[in-house]
A and B are shown apart, each in its own frame.
Chain A
């Protein structure tokens, strides 16, 4: 590490000495590579994470926001007050904010945006997260009051999420193709199948971004991503798709490789309603049969963080619980025998046709074989077929999938949900989190929730998806971690 750093520093210094006179002005544009093109640019109308990765914080802003550490932070709301019973949220809204079309942002606009989310005919993909909101009032131009039907402290988190960004009423119908927000960048142009360009918003209420233009280029193929980086076709790939090609950039001084974590947890979900997975001992045995690091090595060239519960290191309040059920095949065998499966066990893993899931399935199959468990792998086309079979019909034994939704530990309390997991203790913990009226209380609740799942393993917790950032060595300010799918370009700048 130190040597690499010294070399880098020396190279940077040398390059700086040579280049300094010629390049007095740093560049003011950046081209960012992404694997998936968003489908529409309105995060309040469709779920795909690629939408948020282009528009969230850049074009659109919310009342609150989630920062790089996964904490809740103010944005269009400067401050808020939660009533003692946890049912009234009063927001003080920022003054002097205008949308890109020149219309002012007021409490009325905020009321409009939130009413739209909770409306009966709303097609907001995350509507369920805001279901506690009963009424929205705007007593004056800069005050917004939300009245809830039940406590929901996480609401502050979800109000900072892409699905709850503030929209200007006149632009509602066209936001998917011509988005209008309050963010530091304005929409420029979308060449479908190719790129989206954003330009600096001269009237931004906050600190103006250093960049004048940001271009998001969509390159699905991992090899092509590497080629685009090498040839200078893109300056940065915040989520590089080919971990096996990272080493070529690690040894190249022109690039920085920045490993971080995302809010996506890769888990092997089990049908908890169905034998043998309704037996906790079996689930624990299967967890102990697996070496998580081996899966990470094989699927992601070692990038990724082993997890012991459904929480990611990028989430605020994360606890490392991988020690609860560590890799221990002997103990696993003993547990299986105790559960009455000493002679073995057979089931099917329905793996979505995604590289990471298929490779993980094969390795898990080998680990299971070591404790006398026979797993058959069945491929399932993702997303369409998988959503139908596994997610909707829960017609499966075990599957492997990355849960990309931020802070989604609450899915284990949902009914129905494809795990078919039912634990009143866990449900009560989630209710306690909702009832919280302070950040400390909320985080304490999440700590307990993580611990329950680590012991109970309704799904085998494998690893937190890595965010392998590869970018030009002169580029600064990109996020290392990604608690919410995003490419916040506000603070990005060229060092020379």
Chain B
């Protein structure tokens, strides 16, 4: 009885998700087709003769009509065939697969770090507003929000990697080099990504903790003899997590965008550098697929966050 509305809601969300992705795929394709810059021309450079250009355009299928090319792409996607990169001459799926093996762990690492910083800092700051922890937290979140991740990355390279020598200044040895070297290479970039995110999450956690602590049920719990700590962990924190999770969901798109710059600063062979390069080279087939994948990740995670609400907050199960 209780689960039916939740199931229906999730199913509805899934249909909406699929329709949105279709729309997004069309928008991406249309934008890439409209953006000036002929991939064949960029590949062949300024010396190419017109007949050479025509030969390459036909080889790449660029001489086909717009809708046919879009249809081909979608049909390929259904079969898991993402096409062949113009510039790398490699299957796009393999290219993206290699890059995801860097970007997903990096993003996950960054989220874990930001939660590890933001949750304790935010909770303790919210518990005693105006106290010493709160002053540190406020200072940290103000700086962290103001400073972009790629700049933190540059500072980390100059201030940490070069002076201490514990971390490489950039590059990625690959997971086959072993877990420790790989994770070491990802640490500074993850910190650079995590700090701005942790700053936002700290602020949200702090506010949520302050607000929930004022609620009647917390006062009731205290009146019934719950210790300050028990009230905090048993009643305040679980309820304060809802806005934190919401914010985390919203931050995922910011995080994905941040990887583009941070990966470039640390020369990590991730999805961000791939997207950046492909855009400059007008490797349309790569950009389309990477952009769609970003959309899938962001929309999929938002969907997951939406579903997660139902788990965290039973009240949401009944409504909507």
Instruction: Specify which of A129, A227, A230 is in contact with B47 (CB 8 Å cutoff).
Output: A129
Whether A191 and B47, one on each chain, are in contact in the complex, defined by CB atoms closer than 8 angstroms, is no
Chain A contact residues, majority secondary structure: loop
Q: Known A46-B43, A230-B162; judge A224-B170 contact (CB<8 A).
A: yes
A322 within 8 A of B: no
A192 to B278 CA separation, bound complex (whole angstroms): 13
Interface string of B167-197 (1 = CB under 8 A from A): 0111110100000000000000000000000
- Least Cβ–Cβ distance between B43 and chain A, in angstroms: 5
Whether B36 and A121, one on each chain, are in contact in the complex, defined by CB atoms closer than 8 angstroms, is no
Whether A227 and B44, one on each chain, are in contact in the complex, defined by CB atoms closer than 8 angstroms, is no
B216 within 8 A of A: no
B93 within 8 A of A: no
- Least Cβ–Cβ distance between B250 and chain A, in angstroms: 29
Whether B43 and A39, one on each chain, are in contact in the complex, defined by CB atoms closer than 8 angstroms, is yes
A394 to B273 CA separation, bound complex (whole angstroms): 32
Whether B161 and A193, one on each chain, are in contact in the complex, defined by CB atoms closer than 8 angstroms, is no
Contacts of B36 in A (CB 8 A): 384-385, 388-389
Contacts of A389 in B (CB 8 A): 36
Q: Known A40-B89, A227-B170, A387-B38; judge A194-B45 contact (CB<8 A).
A: no
Contacts of A150 in B (CB 8 A): none
Q: Among residues 101 to 131 in chain A, which have CB atoms less than 8 Å away from a CB atom of chain B?
A: 120-129, 131
Q: Among residues 71 to 104 in chain B, which have CB atoms less than 8 Å away from a CB atom of chain A?
A: 87-90, 95, 98-99
Interface string of A129-148 (1 = CB under 8 A from B): 10100000000000000000
Whether B171 and A124, one on each chain, are in contact in the complex, defined by CB atoms closer than 8 angstroms, is no
Which of B45, B49, B59 has most A Cβ within 10 Å?
A: B45
Select from chain A the residue with minimum beta-carbon distance to B263.
Answer: A193
Whether B47 and A47, one on each chain, are in contact in the complex, defined by CB atoms closer than 8 angstroms, is yes
Interface string of B245-273 (1 = CB under 8 A from A): 00000000000000000001111111001
Select from chain A the residue with minimum beta-carbon distance to B42.
Answer: A383
- Least Cβ–Cβ distance between B246 and chain A, in angstroms: 34
B154 within 8 A of A: yes
Whether B280 and A194, one on each chain, are in contact in the complex, defined by CB atoms closer than 8 angstroms, is no
A342 to B181 CA separation, bound complex (whole angstroms): 67
- Least Cβ–Cβ distance between B280 and chain A, in angstroms: 7
A495 within 8 A of B: no
Q: Known A192-B88, A227-B162; judge A387-B37 contact (CB<8 A).
A: yes
A247 to B264 CA separation, bound complex (whole angstroms): 24
Q: Known A217-B171, A223-B157, A391-B46; judge A123-B55 contact (CB<8 A).
A: yes
Whether B48 and A47, one on each chain, are in contact in the complex, defined by CB atoms closer than 8 angstroms, is yes
Select from chain B the residue with minimum beta-carbon distance to A47.
Answer: B45
A200 to B90 CA separation, bound complex (whole angstroms): 25
Instruction: Specify which of B89, B168, B172, B274 is in contact with A176 (CB 8 Å cutoff).
Output: B89
Q: Among residues 189 to 208 in chain A, which have CB atoms less than 8 Å away from a CB atom of chain B?
A: 191-195
Whether B49 and A128, one on each chain, are in contact in the complex, defined by CB atoms closer than 8 angstroms, is yes
Whether B171 and A123, one on each chain, are in contact in the complex, defined by CB atoms closer than 8 angstroms, is no
Q: Known A39-B87, A193-B273, A194-B269; judge A231-B47 contact (CB<8 A).
A: no
Whether B43 and A383, one on each chain, are in contact in the complex, defined by CB atoms closer than 8 angstroms, is no
Q: Known A46-B87, A128-B47, A227-B170; judge A122-B99 contact (CB<8 A).
A: no
Q: Known A39-B43, A221-B264, A384-B37; judge A127-B48 contact (CB<8 A).
A: yes
B277 within 8 A of A: yes
A491 within 8 A of B: no
- Least Cβ–Cβ distance between A420 and chain B, in angstroms: 15
Whether B89 and A231, one on each chain, are in contact in the complex, defined by CB atoms closer than 8 angstroms, is no
Whether B269 and A219, one on each chain, are in contact in the complex, defined by CB atoms closer than 8 angstroms, is no
Instruction: Specify which of A42, A121, A220 is in contact with B264 (CB 8 Å cutoff).
Output: A220
Which of A193, A381, A391 has most B Cβ within 10 Å?
A: A193
A405 within 8 A of B: yes
Contacts of B98 in A (CB 8 A): 192-193
Contacts of B161 in A (CB 8 A): 227, 231
Instruction: Specify which of B38, B87, B171 is in contact with A388 (CB 8 Å cutoff).
Output: B38
Please tell me the size bucket of the interface on A.
35 or more
Q: Known A125-B48, A217-B171, A231-B162; judge A40-B38 contact (CB<8 A).
A: no
Select from chain B the residue with minimum beta-carbon distance to A163.
Answer: B47
Contacts of B225 in A (CB 8 A): none
A496 within 8 A of B: no
A140 to B59 CA separation, bound complex (whole angstroms): 35
Interface string of A47-58 (1 = CB under 8 A from B): 110000000000
Whether A122 and B52, one on each chain, are in contact in the complex, defined by CB atoms closer than 8 angstroms, is yes
Whether B37 and A233, one on each chain, are in contact in the complex, defined by CB atoms closer than 8 angstroms, is no
Whether A227 and B169, one on each chain, are in contact in the complex, defined by CB atoms closer than 8 angstroms, is yes
Whether B157 and A126, one on each chain, are in contact in the complex, defined by CB atoms closer than 8 angstroms, is no
Select from chain A the residue with minimum beta-carbon distance to B167.
Answer: A231
A218 to B268 CA separation, bound complex (whole angstroms): 10
A7 within 8 A of B: no
A122 to B53 CA separation, bound complex (whole angstroms): 9
Q: Among residues 208 to 232 in chain A, which have CB atoms less than 8 Å away from a CB atom of chain B?
A: 217-221, 223-224, 227-228, 230-231
- Least Cβ–Cβ distance between A452 and chain B, in angstroms: 21
A385 to B48 CA separation, bound complex (whole angstroms): 17
Whether B44 and A123, one on each chain, are in contact in the complex, defined by CB atoms closer than 8 angstroms, is yes
Whether A127 and B264, one on each chain, are in contact in the complex, defined by CB atoms closer than 8 angstroms, is no
Interface string of A260-287 (1 = CB under 8 A from B): 0000000000000000000000000000
- Least Cβ–Cβ distance between B184 and chain A, in angstroms: 13
A37 within 8 A of B: yes
B215 within 8 A of A: no
B12 within 8 A of A: no
Whether A227 and B157, one on each chain, are in contact in the complex, defined by CB atoms closer than 8 angstroms, is yes
- Least Cβ–Cβ distance between A384 and chain B, in angstroms: 2
Which of A120, A125, A220, A230 has most B Cβ within 10 Å?
A: A125
A157 to B90 CA separation, bound complex (whole angstroms): 32
Q: Known A125-B52, A128-B49; judge A47-B44 contact (CB<8 A).
A: yes
Contacts of B157 in A (CB 8 A): 223-224, 227
Interface string of B195-233 (1 = CB under 8 A from A): 000000000000000000000000000000000000000
Interface string of A168-196 (1 = CB under 8 A from B): 00000000110000000000000111110
- Least Cβ–Cβ distance between A59 and chain B, in angstroms: 16
B41 within 8 A of A: yes
The 8 closest A-B pairs by CB, nearest first: A384-B37, A193-B269, A47-B45, A39-B87, A227-B169, A176-B89, A125-B44, A388-B36
29 sample A-B contacts, Cβ–Cβ < 8 Å, listed by A number: A39-B43, A39-B87, A39-B283, A46-B87, A121-B55, A123-B59, A125-B47, A125-B52, A126-B47, A128-B52, A191-B269, A193-B99, A193-B268, A193-B270, A194-B267, A224-B169, A227-B157, A227-B161, A227-B170, A230-B169, A231-B168, A233-B171, A384-B37, A384-B280, A384-B282, A387-B46, A388-B38, A405-B45, A408-B47
B interface with A by C-beta (< 8 Å): 35-38, 41-49, 51-52, 55-56, 59, 87-90, 95, 98-99, 154, 157-158, 161-162, 165, 168-172, 174, 264-270, 273-274, 277, 280-283
Q: A40-B88, A223-B154, A384-B282 are in contact. List 4 more A-B contacts (CB 8 A).
A: A122-B52, A123-B52, A131-B49, A230-B169
